Amino acid sequence: MRRRRADTHGSRPDGTALRAGAPEPRTPRAPRRAPASRRSERDARAVVYGPALAGHAYRARRSSIANVPADGLSLLARSASRGGVFSDFDGCLAPIVPDPDAARAVRGANAVLERLGARFLVVAVVSGRSVADLRRRVRARGVRLVGLHGMEEWRDGALHVAPEAEGAREAVERAAARLEQGLAPADGAVLERKGLALAVHFRRAPDPDAVERVAGPIVRAAAEREGLRVVPGRRILEVRPAGGGDKGDAIRRIIDAERLNGALVAGDDVGDLPAFEAIAGLEVGVRVAVASPEGPPDLLARADVTVGSPSEYVALLDRLARNAG
């Protein structure tokens, strides 16, 4: 088992519209959530960019971002002053790479985020990385950084930490100490300390599935002993405080505090499902899945829009920024 030091620096081709057949809603006079009857409705599946879905199969195809009959995106662009854009980092703004330290946002991502930040009420990167780590990788003015699945947030030039998560810091450290020794049999597993959370990575192992089968019980035992929870992801197990919440909780807090009428949420993994749910009651909600062979079927099934790569997602954001007013 190799250890990775924590960062300590500061910081979906059918042409159907997203809401096919639905009348264009009036712009609400004040921020409000849709009636319960509307919340239970799912928008028609609309656009697939890049990869197409055949059941739960993944197959590559050429994308055409330029031809977007995306009514939901148009509605969101027209209400940018009361809207939000929430993006994951790894898998959405940056490709998944074997070494997390080597991850970089795709070309143009920071510029597009900054343009969105000047048009939308809220633009945020919501990630499992720490805020300190995100500050090294996301360099866009007017963009909030929400780290550790909502336990940390960088806004207005200051770091805000959830009190319920802060209280679990010592428990996280004790679990880390146990895992440093306990993961020795899991050759190829990499332990990452993230302050208020831990991550055990398997992507660099010769046989990631085999190593995860060995490491899984060890990680779960260490977390259980300290009252922590384990959340699986793409070639990763994360250890977090039981009361630390998730991305959905973080996004709901922002939606409520800023009284947003609409939002776009993008994700690529299991941890992004709560974020998809967080915008269920808004007047305009667009869920974007960045598809991959490792992507969870549930995420793809719930997405309104599917793109095939971070570059395609950034192209979608670029069009949103150009249309926003």
Residuewise pLDDT in 10s, the chain (325 residues): 555 544 434 444 444 444 444 444 444 444 444 443 333 333 333 344 333 333 333 333 333 333 333 578 999 999 999 999 999 999 999 999 988 899 999 999 999 999 999 999 999 999 999 999 999 999 999 999 999 999 999 988 889 998 888 889 999 999 999 999 999 889 899 999 998 999 999 998 999 999 999 999 999 999 999 999 999 888 999 999 987 789 999 999 999 999 999 999 999 999 999 999 999 999 999 999 999 988 889 999 999 999 999 999 999 999 999 999 6
How many domains is the chain partitioned into structurally?
A: 2
CA distances 219 to 85, 232, 238, 281, Å, are 34, 11, 9, 36
Instruction: Work out the angle between the directed axes of helices 71-78 and 310-323 (0-180°, nearest 10).
Output: 50
Give the other-Cβ count within 10 Å of 43's Cβ. Answer: 17
Range of the domain at 231: 165-241
Which residue in 115, 113, 114, 17 sits closest to 73, CA to CA? 17
| 291 and 319, same domain (yes or no) | yes
Give the domain-ending residue among 212, 241, 270.
241
Residue 28 domain-assigned? no
| 156 and 274, same domain (yes or no) | yes
φ, ψ dihedrals at 236, nearest 5°: -155, 145
| 315 and 272, same domain (yes or no) | yes
Residue 112: CATH number of its domain: 3.40.50.1000
pTM over 0.85: no
Q: What strands, in cross-sheet order, belong to the sheet with 284-290?
A: 47-48, 305-307, 284-290, 262-267, 83-87, 122-126, 144-147, 152-155, 158-161
Angle at 224 between CA 219 and CA 229, to 5 degrees: 75
Distance of CA 323 to the CA centre of its chain: 23
| 178 and 305, same domain (yes or no) | no
| 155 and 197, same domain (yes or no) | no
Residue 106 domain-assigned? yes
| 174 and 237, same domain (yes or no) | yes
Residue numbers annotated as active site: 88
CA distance 165 to 196: 7
Residue 220: CATH number of its domain: 3.30.70.1020
pLDDT in tens, 220-233: 999 999 999 999 88
Give the domain-ending residue among 241, 262, 290.
241
| 207 and 127, same domain (yes or no) | no
Give pLDDT, residue 115.
Answer: 97
Give the domain-ending residue among 191, 226, 241.
241
CA distance 109 to 301: 26
| 91 and 149, same domain (yes or no) | yes
| 192 and 271, same domain (yes or no) | no
Residue 126 domain-assigned? yes
pLDDT in tens, 139-150: 999 999 999 999
Give pLDDT, residue 234.
Answer: 85
CA distances 136 to 9, 124, 153, 194, Å, are 8, 15, 14, 14
Residue 94 domain-assigned? yes
- Measure the CA dihedral 198/203/207/208, to 10°: 50
Give pLDDT, residue 35.
Answer: 44
pLDDT in tens, 169-216: 999 999 999 999 999 889 899 999 998 999 999 998 999 999 999 999
Residue 93 domain-assigned? yes
| 252 and 235, same domain (yes or no) | no
| 115 and 190, same domain (yes or no) | no
| 155 and 187, same domain (yes or no) | no
Residue 107 domain-assigned? yes
Residue 108 domain-assigned? yes
Residue 49 domain-assigned? no
Distance of CA 301 to the CA centre of its chain: 16
Kindly give, in sequence order, each residue whose CB lies less than 8 Å from that of residue 107, ignoring residues fewer than 6 positions away: 311
